[in-house]
Chain A
């Protein structure tokens, strides 16, 4: 579904993504792991056109979309839930969802589904989104993306700052979306939780893919365990 070849991008003189090649097949959940500053968010931004690509190619279902304006992504079925949520704080929860479904003729239906999936949002529909708790804002950010009915959902650190219980909820949503035919490509620091839902994963380091593989294999990889899973991993996972 998504094929990236040799993609390069950055800021000024700084090359944050140095020739990344990866692919995400339809119906998969693929994770992108990496330390702070590895270039994960930059890669996401380059995919959706928030950062101009310096070179390489982004293809979606065979069609090159490299460097297209971010607002065209929705018509290709691609929606990014950006790092830091980017909630419309002075607008109500309902209005946020309405904006998310701006291009979706069936937005009322899609928003109804979002409310079913996240009942808390329904009870807060009239509240200014800026007054939601962090976890609720994360749900709203995901809900807003779903209001557009994406085919490919890009998530940039959706688990950041969430309590373990909420982490489980969000992962359940990811799994459920996959079951409904949505392809998910997600950036995460929480490798342990992410590898639990992802089919495959890539590991990015200073702008380059250094490892890739099936989640089960990566979980067993000593390098990944040392770098991204931490000491506590063994007890929790096994």
Chain B
């Protein structure tokens, strides 16, 4: 009998009975379904954590400076591209560190060259400016590199190395991505919560005037936030590069998905934004069950539109924050 979707219960029982050594052997149909499920799961969490990194960067900039930065995805691409170039001359960890620093400089430069000069711009003006900037960065990337997709080498092993998880082969790079993004989120949380500078940063986000009167140099803090946010994007771009390849024009779709995650999480809440990013990644991954792969990108947009219609303050956003911060 062919195991259909209805046979969920018996399938589960059979999985339990199968000895561990059987995983490597030719699998039954159920085994393949399970391993396919695990594949989708890991795919979803992996791309989702990149969306999470973009969403957090987006959130940080929006909360502290009020800038809706649609160029956030470009930081990811720039990070990956720069690291690939540096890795030709430098050992991998050094190349990545250098790329992150360079992109942080780009973020800071962007603020000093553009946003510092704007006084109380409207949201619409800002969206137009940042989309314009993202196009400029993309074209610059096309000039500096070319239209070819590039990848960093795998951090551990190579493209054929895999770790068996429930019969599915998962690249060790996936664990690098998850680990690095998790550490970034945790470190950011600790920084904001437990350091004086982090507290000052939250003060800028909460009430600029109060922050200024307390002696916080708000202009420099903004530049710092742009740099920090760019650095988060760039590091995410480096860890994902071996599996997802980096191409000059990947930024725009990352920005939209990161934005969707930030809105879904309720603007202002970094942990929620990270969770929402992973949720969107999972939705995208599992959409593979139902939809042709070409529709993958539509999933994030559908979620974004639904959230904007039904719950503009986001899934986890509080009513108070939402009333100030909805779009």
Binding site for B on A (CB under 8 A): 48, 50, 69-75, 79-80, 82, 86-91, 95, 98-100, 102-103, 130, 144-145, 148
Contact = CB atoms under 8 A, between A and B. Distances in A.
Contacts of B213: 48, 50, 70-71, 73-74, 79-80, 82, 86, 145
A142 B219 CA distance: 25
A148 B210 CA distance: 13
Contacts of A48: 213
B207 A86 contact: yes
A69 B214 CA distance: 12
Interface string B211-225: 111111111000000
B150 interface: no
A88 B210 contact: yes
| In the complex, the 3 A-B pairs of residues with the closest C-beta atoms, listed nearest first | A74-B215, A86-B210, A70-B212
B206 interface: yes
B212 A50 contact: yes
Contact of A99 (B214, B219, B320): B214
B282 to A, nearest CB: 29
10 contacts: A50-B212, A69-B212, A70-B209, A73-B213, A91-B203, A99-B210, A102-B196, A102-B215, A144-B210, A145-B213
A155 B202 CA distance: 24
Interface residues of B, number: 20
A102 B212 contact: no
Contacts of A88: 202-203, 206-207, 210
Nearest to A130: B320
B200 interface: yes
B161 interface: no
Contacts of A144: 210, 214
B206 A98 contact: no
A48 B215 CA distance: 11
A174 B26 CA distance: 83
Nearest to A84: B209
Nearest to A141: B210
Contacts of A89: 206-207
B213 to A, nearest CB: 5
Contacts of A100: 214
Contacts of B203: 88, 91, 99, 102
Nearest to A49: B212
Nearest to B217: A71
Nearest to A85: B210
A70 to B, nearest CB: 4
B199 interface: yes
A95 B209 CA distance: 16
Contacts of B320: 130
Interface string B115-155: 00000000000000000000000000000000000000000
